[in-house]
Amino acid sequence: MKAVVTVVGKDRVGIIAEVCTDLASFQVNVLDISQTVMQGYFTMMMVVEVSGSTLPVVELAQKLEEKGKEMGLSIRLQREEIFQAMHRV
- For position 41, which CATH number holds? 3.30.70.260
Of the pLDDT bands very low, low, confident and very high (cuts 50, 70, 90), residue 79 is confident
Report yes or no: 4 and 80 within 8 Å, Cβ to Cβ: yes
Q: Which of 35, 37, 40, 28 has its CA nearest to residue 6?
A: 35
Confidence check: pLDDT of 88 > 70: no
pLDDT digits (tens, 9 = 90+) for 5-62: 999 999 999 999 999 999 999 999 999 999 999 999 999 999 999 999 989 999 999 9
Q: Which of 73, 8, 76, 17 has its CA nearest to residue 37?
A: 8
Report yes or no: 47 and 1 within 8 Å, Cβ to Cβ: no
Domain extent at residue 25:
2-86
Sign of the alpha-carbon dihedral angle for 6, 57, 47, 71: positive
In which element (H, E) is residue 15 found?
helix 15-25
Confidence check: pLDDT of 87 > 70: no
What per-residue confidence (pLDDT) applies to 24? 96
Can you give the pTM of this predicted structure?
A: 0.88
Q: What total number of domains does the chain contain?
A: 1
